[in-house]
Structure formats: C-alpha cells, structure tokens
Amino acid sequence: MKKMLLIITIILVYVGFGYVAEKKNIIPKEAIRIRILANSNSNYDQKQKIIVKEELEKYLYDLMSNAENIEQADIAIRNNMNSLKNLVSSIFDGEFKINYGMNYFPSKEYKGITYDEGYYKSLVVSLGNGLGDNWWCILFPPLCMLDGTELDEIEYRSIVKDIVDKYF
C-alpha cells in the first residue's frame, strides 16, 4: 500500500512539474570569445555585421586550426592583430575598433541557457558606434566554427524516473 501511495505521489509530482532540464556547461573555463557589435540595429548595419563576421570566421578558423591550447591561440591572435585590422578595413567602409583582452559581456539567455555577465578574454570588434545587436561565440576552442553542431545541449530527465531509480 505504501509503495502504491508513493507511486501515485510521484506521478502527481511529475504531472505537476513536468521535466527538469539540466544545463550542461558548454563554455570551457579556458576559452577565448569573439564578439562583433553592429553600428546600430538598422537592416544595413546588421547585414554589415554579418559580412564582417563571416570573413573573420574564415580567417580565424585558419588561424586557430593549429592552436593546441589557449596559450597558442592567444599568441596567434596577438601576432595577427594588424592582419585582423586590415581584413576588417577591407570589408567594412567605416570606423571600427578591435580590442583583444578582457572585455565585458552582458548576461545573455539563448535557447534556454543563461550565459553569465562578466569580463572574458575576447576579441571584440565594434563597427561604427557599436550600439547595435551583437554576435558572439567561442573562438577558442573553436566552437563557433563547427558547422552544423548544436552546442546548447540540454539533457531532459523525468522526475518520476529519478525518484524510482533512487528509491526502488
């Protein structure tokens, strides 16, 4: 009788609360981010941001392909800052800033995962005034350069199954 009562309680809890999502940490502690800020949220400025993003991705993919650790990635970026500036100036007709170091990232929720605000080692490109929506990703390890890979894995668990596994 107690088992039956426990099972009914578990089912009611399950129906009442549904599933519990466990968020996996997808950003390694030792990572380098990249962030590109558009001049504004106008369609033109957002398209310019995407063009710069795509060209930088191609260049940085080649640059990061031989980096085996964060130190090598850091050196590769630092040694190629002039090339990065030249690349952006060749595709963006306007003022811009490139900064590599510890940069502030605001809190962001994306596909159910909250990324904490804070200062992160990163390459930041601000196009024009840098007041528009931004694009960011993980430059090293090269997570944003993996085509077709879903990075925000969420594991769904059943509350009922967890309780049954624990107690039976």
Is the pLDDT score of 123 beyond 50?
yes
In this prediction, residue 132 has a pLDDT band, given cuts at 50, 70 and 90, of: very high
Question: Quick one: average pLDDT of 105-114?
Answer: 81
Pair 41, 128: CB distance under 8 Å: no
Residues 6+ apart with CB under 8 A from 85: 98
Return mean pLDDT, the chain.
Answer: 79
45 vs 155, higher pLDDT: 45
pTM of the model: 0.69
Task: Give the residue among 55, 66, 65, 60 at the shortest CA–CA distance from 81.
Answer: 60
Is the pLDDT score of 33 beyond 80?
yes
Domain regions of the chain by residue span: 2-23+155-167, 32-152
Question: Quick one: average pLDDT of 103-123?
Answer: 86
Task: Give the residue among 61, 73, 45 at the shortest CA–CA distance from 135.
Answer: 45
Is the pLDDT score of 120 beyond 80?
yes
Is the pLDDT score of 156 beyond 50?
no
Residue 118 falls in which region: left (phi positive, over 0), alpha (psi -120 to 50) or beta: left
Tens digits of residue pLDDT in 93-102: 999 999 999 9
